[in-house]
């Protein structure tokens, strides 16, 4: 068993025994999982700390993550819920594979591992799509000199795309490389409308309101049309999408944390898929039948469940809380 001093000491210390009744590989996988869990806890704690500092102006998750692929009507958090379901389901197929391995049923192991890999690929693809949508932005916003974001809503509170009411286009000419000596491409695509266009459009439409970052009573503050007209004078630029520098949803810190934590997690999922594929091929080739046990499947299953576990926490702290 464990560290109990007894007459069994001789055999314990002369090697060949298994502490905790575990094989070396499985114990090491558990220890690795523990250390990785500490890493992610550190990241999430840092996220909590920074979010607390900006708690009065942090973006509200249901307003940011509303897109669902192949549809145009926004549904808050629906796609993220789907992603969670996919990952939990792939966890289930993984544990079923492990269970089949215990009974030495090779065909079942093959089937369930294949389903797990497919589930993982769907999750990673979905996460990539979420990133793309997030980077691309939804409605656009104006940024003030101090970095505050002004979004636009109609009188019912529904978000309005800045392109839908802006008047005119910005007269910026995109130069090409042959026009000058010192040419550099734009780091990010410049919006096709500027502050003046948006302001003109806003003044012309009395139904529009500005939604600021401040949170009052759990909702973002919406200014009256008159107060908005005052506020809009402070705008210095148009922001579309989210990257490390500008973020149409709110503080750039929100985008930074989103990319970093979901990116780290997505990378773990990806590496888990790669490892699963390798073990899958080993199963198909009969390596574990020959070996007499499917413990490798179990070890890889532990890693996959860990990935699912981290997602459960990331999902809660990013999207729900």
Binding site for another protein (CB under 8 A): 1-3, 20-22, 27, 30, 34, 37-38, 41-42, 45-46, 48-56, 61-62, 76-78, 80-81, 84-85, 88-89, 91-92, 94-96, 98-99, 102-104, 218, 293, 295, 298, 301-302, 305-306, 308-309, 312-313, 316, 319-321
Q: Output 168 or 286, the one with its CB closest to another protein.
A: 286
CB of 239 to another protein, least distance (A): 23
CB distance 251 to 54 below 8 Å: yes
CB of 232 to another protein, least distance (A): 25
CB of 48 to another protein, least distance (A): 5
Q: Output 42 or 286, the one with its CB closest to another protein.
A: 42
E strands, the chain, are 141-144, 149-153, 209-216, 219-222, 235-239
CB of 206 to another protein, least distance (A): 31
DSSP label at residue 190: P
Q: Are strands 209-216 and 149-153 parallel, antiparallel or unpaired?
A: antiparallel
3-class SS at 169? coil
3-class SS at 152? strand
CB of 105 to another protein, least distance (A): 10
Q: Output 8 or 88, the one with its CB closest to another protein.
A: 88
DSSP label at residue 147: S
CA separation for the pair 227, 210 (Å, rounded): 8
CB of 113 to another protein, least distance (A): 15
E strands, 206-303, are 209-216, 219-222, 235-239
CB of 75 to another protein, least distance (A): 9
Q: Output 102 or 188, the one with its CB closest to another protein.
A: 102
CB of 300 to another protein, least distance (A): 12
CB distance 96 to 112 below 8 Å: yes
Q: Output 77 or 114, the one with its CB closest to another protein.
A: 77
CA separation for the pair 4, 19 (Å, rounded): 11
Q: Output 8 or 45, the one with its CB closest to another protein.
A: 45
Q: Output 103 or 132, the one with its CB closest to another protein.
A: 103
HSE at residue 300, side-chain half, CA atoms within 13 A, is 29
HSE at residue 144, side-chain half, CA atoms within 13 A, is 16
Output the CA torsion sign for 78, 263, 37, 118. Answer: positive
CA separation for the pair 93, 119 (Å, rounded): 9
Q: Output 170 or 282, the one with its CB closest to another protein.
A: 282
């Amino acid at each position: 068993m464990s560290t109990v001093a007894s007459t069994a000491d001789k055999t314990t210390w002369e090697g060949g025994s298994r502490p905790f009744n575990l094989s070396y590989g499985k114990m090491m996988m558990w220890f690795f999982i523990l250390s990785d869990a500490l890493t992610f806890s550190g990241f999430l704690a840092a996220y909590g700390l920074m979010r607390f500092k900006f708690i009065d102006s942090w973006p509200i998750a249901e307003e940011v993550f509303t897109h669902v692929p192949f549809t145009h009507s926004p549904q808050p958090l629906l796609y993220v819920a789907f992603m969670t379901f996919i990952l939990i389901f792939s966890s289930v197929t993984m544990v079923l594979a492990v269970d089949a391995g215990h009974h030495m049923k090779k065909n079942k192991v093959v089937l369930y591992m294949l389903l797990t890999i497919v589930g993982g690929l769907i999750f990673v693809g979905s996460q990539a799509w979420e990133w793309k949508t997030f980077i691309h932005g939804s409605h656009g916003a104006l940024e003030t000199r101090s970095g505050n974001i002004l979004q636009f809503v109609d009188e019912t509170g529904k978000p309005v795309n800045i392109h839908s009411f802006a008047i005119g286009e910005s007269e910026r000419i995109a130069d090409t490389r042959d026009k000058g000596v010192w040419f550099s491409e734009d780091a990010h695509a410049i919006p096709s409308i500027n502050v003046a266009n948006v302001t003109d459009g806003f003044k012309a439409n009395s139904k529009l309101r500005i939604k600021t970052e401040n949170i009052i009573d759990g909702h973002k503050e919406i200014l009256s049309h008159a107060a908005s007209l005052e506020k809009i004078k402070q705008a210095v630029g148009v922001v579309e999408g989210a990257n490390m520098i500008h973020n149409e949803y709110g503080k750039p810190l929100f985008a930074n944390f989103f990319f970093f934590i979901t990116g780290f997690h997505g990378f773990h999922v990806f590496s888990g898929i790669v490892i699963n594929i390798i073990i899958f091929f080993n199963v198909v080739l009969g390596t574990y039948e020959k070996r007499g046990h499917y413990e490798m499947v179990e070890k890889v299953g532990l890693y996959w469940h860990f990935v699912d576990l981290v997602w459960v926490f990331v999902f809660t702290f990013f999207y729900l809380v």
